[in-house]
Structure 1
Amino acid sequence: MKLAFPMPHLLRLKATGQPWEAAVTGADQTRLARWAERLGYAMIAVPEHHIIPKAHVDLSGPHYFSAYPAMAYWAGATETIRVNSCIAILPLQHPVVTAKALSTIDWLSSGRVTVTFAVGWLEEEFRLLGVPFHERGARAEEYIQAILELWTADEPSFEGTYVSFKDVAFEPKPVQKPHPPVWFGGDADPVLRRVARYASGWWPFLTKPEDIPAKIDYIRSQPDYDGRLTEVFYGLGTARVGEGHAVQDDPHARPGMPRQEIVDRLGWFKDLGVTMSSVPIPPLASLDEYYDYTQWVAEEIMP
């Protein structure tokens, strides 16, 4: 079981945020990325929204990064830790631009990129960006095909409804071969079928832990599944966030659990098929206390 580093002030969800996090700066996060690397955390993952309608600010908060610039920045500030998105909204950006951003980060970081795509759920965000919300699944399907073509083909070409290209050059190619690990986030059957077709990782959000094995079986039962699924991410605190970022009360997902309960819970997750998780931040008063807690996790939980 690998552990990702829960970077503070990536977002301000009502379900999980703490007051001290709002004071964490970019300079603080740079130091924390290096700290996470020294402690042996496996990954830093970046949530993404481009714009939040006022009606959603109460639950979702106003503060989000664009995933790829943040991934690039932390990759440049570190040497070994992997960077990921959790998630990047695949239909909201042209796939050529997405492919170029991620191949650039992978090349500059010597192959430390993983990307978790999703189709998005916030309809108003799509409307504001001029992308038809109800086409997002079809666009995601076509966009991932185009991205993989650009990453892997010596002479890439693609003909689709939303994107087409031929007689083009695309470099740098990613360092990782055949391409950086692609994960998909989400829980619906179309997402799971997309995992089967294209992904080496799955990041569930609304799935209950006990239902993870059945969904893994569903992925592996698809006729176009080629055996590449190796990673399933489920955080210890995932169940605290419901649909639309609603606040959920789950005593088994609470922050601040004692050591043995955390270890036992992670062991149960492993038995369910989870390969990577994160330990939620307990109520703290300051960034200094956060340093102490993440060191405690590295020393007491990771081994």
Structure 2
Amino acid sequence: MPYAMRANFGLSLSTRAVLFDWGTLDDLMEAAQTAEASGYFESIWVGDNLLSKPRVEAIVTLSALAARTEHVRLGTICLASFPLRDPILLALQWASLDVLSKGRTVLSVCNGGSALDGPQFAHELAVMGVASRERVGRVVEGIDILRRLWSEDRVSHNGTYYRFNDVDVLPKPVQQPVPILIAVNPKEEVVDASVTDRILQRVATHADGWQTDATPVETFRHRFDTIRHYAAEQGRDGDQLESCLHLMVNINEDRDRAFHEAATFLSAYYGAGAVSQERAEMWLAYGSPQAVIDKIAAYLDAGCTTPVLRFVSPHPTEQLQRCIDEVLPAFRSQST
């Protein structure tokens, strides 16, 4: 029986895979077209970094996807380079993408890596001239700038990180407003409850939704309920907020083999030791089609509106087709 819950499924494309000779850009375009043609996927997403995790650039890739698709939304998981990008240039680039796609974009932004997260992040920040401690402030200020540049004429801004006068960015986006999500996943073992609370308040105040990954089901439920509560306190409709979960998927009746394939993929993609058995239970939906269905359903029950699936396997095309044939029909009655 179909699950009685609403879900707008997304497909996450592995843009770093091109660097590893695991696929081509044509493969990614074809996957997006297959996903759209299936009728099960409502959105296509790509990741983003500049120097820290090299990959095909996100906005360029989304522009190509805009030309190869017609209906699916196009978004980022997430724009980690947001604190490093000039907001005026980004406003023009994203508005142009929204025009090209006829109003199908969703921009998810995040702080990006801290200098403490590894030497590659410290180097990236140094090269781009951004102090690690500035990242959160640049995200908040940058979101405000984008919203104004996309909706107002002749904008002047005198902030902590950006200052300019009399700027009119044209064209304006087709969407008014363009949805902006904030991607964040504070680790409970590292961040205390008061800091996590401030982070969730930030999402409720500045974003149209929340994006996360590797979050236990009950933690996901609690955090999204908290975000909606804070939004309601500010007079916003919390029920209109999007909750987007990036979920790694490997479909295989042999659960051990599914985990091994996923772990091998993720270790190569993100670095050795990227996934432990404990992390896998949060990050992955793996095993038989029913096991994957049950994992997705648990997050939908916890309030997830947009499960975005990335197939972590040497055979992503086969995985996508299996998902279309054996997993997503379980959600047919409520998918859009």
| Counterpart Cα distance in 2 of 1:11 and 1:225 | 40
Change over 3 Å in CA distance of 1:98–1:77 after alignment to 2: same
Query: Amino acid of the residue matched to residue 237 of structure 2?
Result: G
Q: Which stretches in structure 2 are left out of the alignment for 5+ residues?
A: 1-6, 116-121, 187-195, 250-261
Partner SS state of residue 173, structure 1: coil
Report if aligned partners of 1:39, 1:298 keep a CA contact under 8 Å in 2: no
- The superposition leaves residues 110-139 of structure 1 with CA deviations (integer Å, 9 ceiling, x where unpaired) of 100001000112421212222111111111
- The two structures have a TM-score, normalised by structure 1, of 0.82
Is the aligned partner of 1:72 residue 2:100? no
| Counterpart Cα distance in 1 of 2:326 and 2:86 | 39
Give the structure with the larger strand fraction: 2
| Counterpart Cα distance in 2 of 1:187 and 1:288 | 29
Change over 3 Å in CA distance of 1:156–1:272 after alignment to 2: same
Aligned sequence identity (%): 25
Paired residue for 2:223, among 200, 209, 215?
A: 215
Query: Amino acid of the residue matched to residue 145 of structure 2?
Result: A
Cα root mean square deviation, aligned: 2.9
Report if aligned partners of 2:98, 2:105 keep a CA contact under 8 Å in 1: yes
Q: Which stretches in structure 1 are left out of the alignment for 5+ residues?
A: 13-18, 53-61
Paired residue for 1:202, among 199, 203, 210?
A: 210
Report if aligned partners of 2:84, 2:128 keep a CA contact under 8 Å in 1: yes
Change over 3 Å in CA distance of 1:122–1:253 after alignment to 2: closer
Query: Amino acid of the residue matched to residue 268 of structure 1?
Result: A
Query: Amino acid of the residue matched to residue 296 of structure 2?
Result: L
Aligned to 1:187: 185
Is the aligned partner of 1:267 residue 2:278? no
Query: Amino acid of the residue matched to residue 245 of structure 2?
Result: Y
Report if aligned partners of 2:285, 2:295 keep a CA contact under 8 Å in 1: no
Higher relative contact order (CA 8 A, sep 6+): 2
Change over 3 Å in CA distance of 1:204–1:254 after alignment to 2: closer
Query: Amino acid of the residue matched to residue 234 of structure 1?
Result: L
Query: Amino acid of the residue matched to residue 199 of structure 1?
Result: A
Change over 3 Å in CA distance of 1:220–1:6 after alignment to 2: closer
Aligned to 1:289: 318
Paired residue for 1:247, among 269, 275, 296?
A: 275
143-152 vs 66-75, greater mean Cα deviation: 66-75
Aligned to 1:51: 51
Aligned to 1:56: none
Aligned to 1:227: 237
| Counterpart Cα distance in 1 of 2:285 and 2:213 | 17
| Counterpart Cα distance in 1 of 2:200 and 2:49 | 22
- The superposition leaves residues 83-123 of structure 1 with CA deviations (integer Å, 9 ceiling, x where unpaired) of 10011022110111111111110011110000100011242
How many pairs are equivalent? Answer: 284
- The two structures have a TM-score, normalised by structure 2, of 0.75
| Counterpart Cα distance in 2 of 1:161 and 1:45 | 31
| Counterpart Cα distance in 1 of 2:181 and 2:165 | 27
Q: CA deviation at 1:225?
A: 5.9
| Counterpart Cα distance in 1 of 2:326 and 2:54 | 26
